Structure 1
Amino acid sequence: MEKKKLKVKEKQSFNCGKVRLNKKGQVQELILKPRRGKTLPLFTDPEIAAPVLLERAVQKMRAFNKDMDEGPYILLYPDCSEVVNVPGSEKPFTLAEYKKDLGKAYARITLFICLEKHFRGGDDTSDSDSEIVITSRSTAKFNQADTVEGTGHSSTTQHGQIVISDTEDMGPPKTNTDKTTCYREEMNVTLPAIIANLSQPIDHGRVSRFNISRANVWDGAVRGFKRTSYSENCDMLVKFTDDAGVFEEGIDSGGPRREFLSLLMKNLKDRPIFDGPDGHRFLVYNANAVREDEYYLAGKMIAVSVVHGGPGPHFLSEDLVRYLAGQPSFKATVNLITDEEVGKALEEIENAASVDALREMTMRHSTMLQTAGCLRHVASVEEKKGIVSDYLQWYIIGRNSSVIDRFKEGLSALQFLNALQQHPTLLAPVLCHSEKRLTALELERLFKPDLSPPGSNRRLGESQTLGYWADYLLDCEESQTAVSLEDVLMFATGLTSLPPSGFEPSPGIEFLDDSPFPMANTCSNTLKLPLLESYNVFKSKMDFGMQNSPGFGCY
């Protein structure tokens, strides 16, 4: 079923009055006035009843706000009446029924929670009521804080944003079995939805300009990111220069930006700020890079690439990413060490077969271990695992902590680091290497053809070409062509991998009468296929056309 796209209407202020008696028997009106602050997404079923909705809201707020007051709490409508039945009826409250009777989208529904003792009038000393905004997953605002003011005083509150989708979007709850995380996995949250939320602050009416030569992508990128007028909250306008130094024609409406970000991530992995084998790179201290503030710049480049519709780096060590995400687990192995002497020393310790052999190895490499704070007296051979693990953690994280902190500051651009820490399961794969490759079936499904009316002569030719296209993708997957599936995707969209944000607009296929070679418009993610009479000719022309493309900008 088609997923519905909901909109969020942001409330600037809200006044709620409730008449009650104070301890002296006098009538008192409580005024609540929420102000914007921190919000947390909680994905739940529209059929949820009031008690369960209240329980999940309080549970989520407590997970992120350790100073939250002890309950019990109650759920309130905007007029400060308790949520029991749907207003004006005897129907027990469910979110779906309330939405139906209210006649508003989920994005415009607002509920509140507050301590029951405050609501019942048992305690007039404070007000710590929290607002619950019902909205859609794609526009859920993370990391905003609310304060609710009571009569004569105010206090910071734990504001939670309940994120609702229509029932066809909902799936069974997911169970979080990762003991290292400190959050409950949101139900049905998606990676594109997270990226869409992070991209909300981008002002599409302003641009930051980048003038890039494909022969030296890094140099142009650094100039662009360090320009005083640069802002990650502006759109990116990328212009590539050709061999003669003349700007390519066309306005960047996505294609050049995506190609630039793809090339930038490819260049970034080979910078001297990283060490370790391909696909498992970790940060390492480099004095010159510190002077150039390259660690901060690299973090910002990654955040900008992902949020602005480009790829993630896909080369960082899993241990580094877990550390960045605030997860304490550490699983590095000796084969990540590129320094031959250090690697050999750790292998000798790791291979020690007895306590005496282990003691001999620790003494032989005592200077190295002492530097890392790992030198110890050993009483059993099993302690070798702890020694090696402690040293690896120091080697990858501890000794580089200052530059990692600076990298994290750059990664905080556009709230990306915060999102990584909230959603490590979804965002960590964007940063880490993945063995999964593009498949022919993925690309075939990704590109939707624009076909002529059924029964027409042209439709027959288009259908035949779609068969050639499917076979060509299979040949690419089996390395029977001059180009790879990644090359095909790059030619058509400016990306070599599927972006975390998803494609906007959706990739499509058109057909050419006047050219035997493929063409592409990466701004619209459109691949134009030639109508040819045989598969062998089609395959030859596709190979030649993509191999000889001067770049993947807009045409």
Structure 2
Amino acid sequence: RMHKPSEELTLLQAGLGRRTVNIPEDANHKEVRDYPKMTDLEGAWMLHKAMGGSGQRKLNLVSPEEAGYTGASLVKTWGGKGCLYIMPIQHTLDITPLPFTSPEFQAMPKARCVSCQEYVPLQLLSLHAETCAQTKGNDEVWLVACPLCCEVFSENDILTHASACGENNVVSIWFCSVSAILLSLQKKIDQTQTFNISVTRQDMYERGMRQWSRQKKGSPKNPLVVSFIGEYGIDQGALRKEFLTEVMRGIEAHFFEGDGEKGKNPKYSLLDYQDNKFKTCGEIFATSLVQGGPAPNFLTRWCYHFLCHGTMDNNSVPNDVTSPDIKSNEDALLQLSDTIVACGYMGPIHVDHKKAITDAVSLHGLLRLIPILSQLREGLRLYGLDEVLGHHGRMCQQLFVPGFIQEVDSDFVVNALCPSFSEEGTTRRHREMKIINFLQDFLQKLEDREGISCQESHLFLQWVTGQGHLPLIETEREMFKISISFTHDCQTHYGEHSLCFPTVNACATGLNFPTQHIETFEDFEKNLTTAIHFGFDFSRH
């Protein structure tokens, strides 16, 4: 019979819940029984299958063959796919709940419990929330902020509010991670029309900023659709991500300055302020976060605090904001006297007062950035991101301040590869395996030469997928895959030739490698490097 929902959750907590496994057709009985939780039964188990439905299902025995349960017999019995139940014969399985760090839960998406702040498998969050709530004091009240309207409610009232705000009844999952916040913001995209940007690849940043500001037929709150003039690519997500990646990189270089490790401050520019360019930057920040682009994680902490609350945090205010080079000798100070006085310093200009002079100049440099940050914050009102930052500032800090987001590395790219190999034992399979090994060596060589955050690793990922960053939403990051196919008969398709290059389908996240013409790693490296640097446009040469 079917288990009640509570029983299913109990089994799931013990690592005995439903899971999908792949059993090769040539698997023998020993290989079948080596799956988790079956080894403890020492062979004393049988498989059953459910027939019928209507809420009550009778389990019928799946009789093993002479050699026991094999992949071939299971395919024959159940057509290769279906739900089978493990029934112990003389044992009772331990249903003690496993810790959430157990290997059985590694593949499950995690969400943070608002009560204990522990990351819990999403499928078990409702059951955990019941037991976790019982541990709170009777007089303790827990407050939760709605991610859509940002109003604060008690945990009892948030469930009622959720239906009016259009959210899922299990509201607690929306406050457990940055991924959940971004998913909720995606619901605010206005799908009634599109926001179209057409640019050339040359000067993409400058042209993109200009087209963004003058676009009249749509709003950045609509889905962004990008086209590259003179190319035939249709934007299904990859062109948008590539555009946002390049424009975000340009914004960081042109509008911000400072130490990249500690974060950057806006460059003071009265002309850019008067042209509302910092508001445009804020809109692009919001659009990039909500529509799959990279995060603007290059701001200083005090700048981020201002974007969250509209005020300065005195504890994190730097003392080196765009101040002139103040020398240690008195003559140098006297030469800068007009600049020092203009910054509001009223004391004696003498080397003994250098700290007071430096503080005055630094404060002046900081204060003149406030209008610029206010304009940037105005752009973040898109999708209500400014209010979300005000209520979830600590959680969203990783999106704006450096040092939190994982950079692209060779391990991530290699683990995302999904090659379609030929039949095992064939010559084609041997060539395909050699190409994949060359690709792994290529990525690791880039990493060893220039470090994990090297531009070349980002460039490879951007070439294949349109984006040079890891997906910001956890579920998208876990599902991120790059399909690999191979061409063995390029001579038939393209005639006689001595060299051909790999091609990409960025929208489908696919990469095709020709297996001919490449015999050594040096051949592969030269071929792939040329393809990356000259193969971003939608054409074949």
**Same fold by TM-score, threshold 0.5 exceeded?**
yes
For 2:142, the equivalent position in structure 1 comes to: 59
1:487 to 459, 466, 475: 459
For 1:283, the equivalent position in structure 2 comes to: 266
For 2:187, the equivalent position in structure 1 comes to: 200
Q: Which has the higher strand share?
A: 1
Sort the Cα spacing of 1:301 and 1:57 in 2 relative to 1 into closer, same or farther, 3 A.
farther
Alignment of 1:260-271 (within 5 A): 260-271=243-254
2:481 to 486, 498, 507: 507
RCO higher in 1 or 2 (8 Å CA, sep ≥ 6)?
A: 1
Q: Is 1:419 paired with 2:402?
A: no
- Matched residue SS, 2:250: helix
Q: Following TM superposition, by how much is the alpha carbon of 1:491 offset from its aligned partner in structure 2, in angstroms?
A: 0.8
1:237 to 218, 225, 237: 225
Number of residue pairs the alignment of both structures matches: 399
Sort the Cα spacing of 1:483 and 1:344 in 2 relative to 1 into closer, same or farther, 3 A.
closer
1:298 to 281, 285, 295: 281
Q: Following TM superposition, by how much is the alpha carbon of 1:480 offset from its aligned partner in structure 2, in angstroms?
A: 8.8
- Maintained 8 Å contact 1:41/1:162: no
Alignment of 1:536-551 (within 5 A): 536-551=522-537
For 1:132, the equivalent position in structure 2 comes to: 159
Q: Is 1:406 paired with 2:394?
A: no
For 1:446, the equivalent position in structure 2 comes to: 416
For 1:95, the equivalent position in structure 2 comes to: none
CA distance in 2, matches of 1:414, 1:192: 16
Could you tell me which runs of 5 or more consecutive residues in structure 2 were left unpaired when the two chains were aligned.
Answer: 1-104, 119-124, 491-499
CA distance in 1, matches of 2:539, 2:524: 23
- Maintained 8 Å contact 1:492/1:552: no
Deviation string 1:381-409 (CA, Å, 9 cap, x unpaired) is 9x97687456534412x222222211101
- Maintained 8 Å contact 1:483/1:543: no
- Maintained 8 Å contact 2:272/2:278: yes
Sort the Cα spacing of 1:68 and 1:283 in 2 relative to 1 into closer, same or farther, 3 A.
closer
CA distance in 1, matches of 2:145, 2:270: 43
Alignment of 1:319-398 (within 5 A): 319-326=302-309, 328=313, 329-334=315-320, 337=322, 342-344=324-326, 348=328, 371-372=342-343, 388=358, 391-396=361-366, 398=367
- Maintained 8 Å contact 1:259/1:553: no
Q: Following TM superposition, by how much is the alpha carbon of 1:478 offset from its aligned partner in structure 2, in angstroms?
A: 2.8
- Maintained 8 Å contact 1:508/1:526: yes
Deviation string 1:414-448 (CA, Å, 9 cap, x unpaired) is 22233333444453343344597532222212333
For 1:475, the equivalent position in structure 2 comes to: 445
- The RMSD of aligned alpha carbons is 4.6
For 1:35, the equivalent position in structure 2 comes to: none
- Maintained 8 Å contact 1:134/1:163: no
CA distance in 1, matches of 2:435, 2:221: 42
- Matched residue SS, 1:256: helix
- Maintained 8 Å contact 1:507/1:525: yes
- Maintained 8 Å contact 2:485/2:512: yes
Alignment of 1:116-155 (within 5 A): 130-132=157-159
- Maintained 8 Å contact 1:312/1:499: no
- Maintained 8 Å contact 2:319/2:363: no
CA distance in 1, matches of 2:348, 2:416: 59
CA distance in 2, matches of 1:552, 1:501: 28
Q: Is 1:524 paired with 2:508?
A: yes
Sort the Cα spacing of 1:221 and 1:480 in 2 relative to 1 into closer, same or farther, 3 A.
closer
- Maintained 8 Å contact 1:448/1:509: yes
Sort the Cα spacing of 1:414 and 1:511 in 2 relative to 1 into closer, same or farther, 3 A.
same
Q: Which has the higher helix share?
A: 2
- Matched residue SS, 2:199: strand
- Maintained 8 Å contact 2:302/2:317: yes
Q: Is 1:212 paired with 2:194?
A: no
The alignment-based identity, stated in percent, is 18
Alignment of 1:249-260 (within 5 A): 249-260=232-243
For 2:30, the equivalent position in structure 1 comes to: none
CA distance in 2, matches of 1:474, 1:390: 49
- Maintained 8 Å contact 1:276/1:282: yes
CA distance in 1, matches of 2:294, 2:181: 15
Sort the Cα spacing of 1:364 and 1:542 in 2 relative to 1 into closer, same or farther, 3 A.
closer
CA distance in 2, matches of 1:260, 1:361: 47
- Matched residue SS, 2:159: strand
For 1:496, the equivalent position in structure 2 comes to: 468
- Maintained 8 Å contact 1:306/1:312: yes
Q: Following TM superposition, by how much is the alpha carbon of 1:304 offset from its aligned partner in structure 2, in angstroms?
A: 0.8
Q: Following TM superposition, by how much is the alpha carbon of 1:310 offset from its aligned partner in structure 2, in angstroms?
A: 0.7
